[in-house]
Each structure stands twice: as structure tokens, then as C-alpha cells.
Amino acid sequence: MAWSTDNCTVGRTMAILGERWTVVVLREVFNGVRRFDDIRRHSGIPRQVLSNRLASLVEQDILRREPYRPESGGRTRHEYRPTAKGLDLYLVLVAVAEWGDTYLADPEGPPVEFVHRDCGEQVHPVVECAAGHRIDTPRDVVGRPGPGAKPFEG
């Protein structure tokens, strides 16, 4: 019972995602809203915060900053797109959105639904084990020490 469940990866991940707006920014970007001002208007994030968030997401290699030439001519601008590392966060995003829609949506329902492009049905996160069993309660999941576990003395 005394291996260290140490906050390791979850703690580190939350040091990134845990900043109030990070996940919201990712949501916009996944949704195709990729330009500074568009993101800002859609989400209501304060300029400075958005600026910081974008910069640190780029630095973490979760987004990348790409120059583009606006349709209507004009100066070169930048847009933000997810990297592979960033795309892998969509599982987190879907899980967060689902929980939020279940417990925190306005009475009318959620403002956006995520649907499967091919069939139009709503998407949901589920948990499976490597043997393909569907797991629908946390009771069926147990933690156990992994390769990086360190012994733990209370």
C-alpha cells in the first residue's frame, strides 16, 4: 500500500492546463478559431492573459505560430494551430466539455455540441482497457505502481 502515488504527471499536467484559460484557448483553436482577436472575442479572455497563454503554449510545443497573409491583403499576421502534442489534448477537452455540459450548462443546454464529422452523432469520451473491455465506473479502475514508482515512507 505504500508506493508513492506522488502527484507527478498529473501535477505537471495541471501546472499547464490548470491555468484558468489554457483549456479554453485550446477549445477555440480546435474549433478553428485561430487568430488572436477572434479567440479573444469568442472567449472573452483578457488581452494580456491571452497573450501570455498563447506564448506559453507555443513554448510548450502545444501550439505553433504560423504566419499567414490575410485574404484582404495586408500585413503578415500569425495564427495558432495545435501541434501533435496539442492535438492529443482533445481527449481532455472532450472529457471536460462533457462534464461541464452535464453539470454546469445553462438550463437551455450547452451552447456547442461536438459531433462526429461522418455521421453527425454526438461524441462522448469513454474509458477502455487494453483488452478492449469497456469501463464505465471508476470502481473498475485501480491504480498500481508504474515503472517510475518510488518507494514511499509516510
Whole-angstrom distance, CA of residue 105 vs CA of residue 97:
10
The residue count for binding a copy of itself (CB under 8 A) is 95
Q: Is 45 in a helix, a strand, or coil?
A: coil
Q: How far is CA 85 from CA 39, 61, 121, 149, in A?
A: 20, 7, 26, 24
Give me the residue label for grid cell 479572455: 45
Hey, which residues between 40 and 59 contact DNA (CB under 7 A)? Answer: 44-49, 51-52, 54
Dihedral sign computed on CA atoms, order 67, 68, 69, 72: negative
Can you name the residues that pair with 151 across neighbouring β-strands?
Answer: 3
Q: Choose the one of a copy of itself, DNA, none that binds residue 36, judging by a C-beta under 5 to 8 angstroms depending on kind.
A: DNA
Hey, which residues between 21 and 40 contact a copy of itself (CB under 8 A)? Answer: 21-24, 27-28, 30-31, 33, 38
Can you name the residues that pair with 135 across neighbouring β-strands?
Answer: 127
| Residue 6 in grid coordinates | 506522488
Residue in 20, 127, 145, 152 binding DNA, rule: CB under 7 A: 20
Q: Does an H or E element contain 63, and which? A: strand 63-68
Residue in 4, 16, 64, 78 binding DNA, rule: CB under 7 A: 78
What's the closest the beta carbon of residue 19 comes to DNA, in angstroms?
Answer: 4
**Rule CB under 8 A: is residue 122 a binding residue for a copy of itself?**
yes
- Binding segment for DNA (CB under 7 A), chosen from 31-39, 85-93, 129-137, 139-147, is 31-39
**Rule CB under 8 A: is residue 129 a binding residue for a copy of itself?**
yes
Which positions lie near DNA, rule CB under 7 A? 19-21, 35-38, 44-49, 51-52, 54, 72-75, 77-79
